[in-house]
Amino acid sequence: MRNLCQALLDSGLTGMTRRRLVVLDRDGTLIVEHQYLSDVQQVELLPGAASGLRQLQERGLGLIVITNQSGVGRGFFDLARLDQIHRRLHELLHAEGVHLDGIYVCPHTPDDDCRCRKPNTALLELAAKDMGCDLQASFVIGDKACDIALGRRVRATTLLVRTGYGAQVAPERTITPDHVVDDLWEAAQVIRRQLVE
């Protein structure tokens, strides 16, 4: 398979200066976890996700998704199906008044040893370049150890949500998120407090 580090970006963001980002995992953080999600009808926002993101968006934070999608590399679904899933995600969020500034995808398997698969930082570095953002002043939210490790590697503030796999991951002593929260709504409250400190 050719190198498919894909950045699925909305237009109009290049050249923004030092914008702070909220970097979101997709499955188990933003939408309901379905292993190797390939059915557009199963795309479902988690409770509180849209409300939390809307609050952050209103504070001027950029919202992006960085997601490992090894189902593409494993041949479970193709990039066209992945695009349909992300279009549906955009539709659901738009209906709630939320706009994602970009979705960045790693389609590789763990065995591909790529630079874009979380916790590697290539996609986040690409987002920082595209949006002119300050990663150390940004926030990384996810439900897995790789999400927290991604944030740690760029010295961002990390938040582990207990949705998805988060409830299982939270007790592990191998990861050290800055905050552990129930969901994206609670994550938004933590971030809002930090913005005024």
Residues with active-site annotation: 25, 27
DSSP state of 44: -
Choose among 184, 189, 180: nearest CA to 160: 180
Choose among 40, 10, 53: nearest CA to 141: 53
Task: Give dist(CA 180, CA 160) in Å, integer.
Answer: 5
Instruction: Report the b/e string of 43-57 with b at 16+ CB within 10 A.
Output: bebbebbbbbbbbbb
Task: Give dist(CA 11, CA 25) in Å, integer.
Answer: 21
**78-83 LR contacts (CB < 8 Å, sep 24+):** 79/4, 79/6, 79/107, 81/38, 81/40, 82/107, 83/8
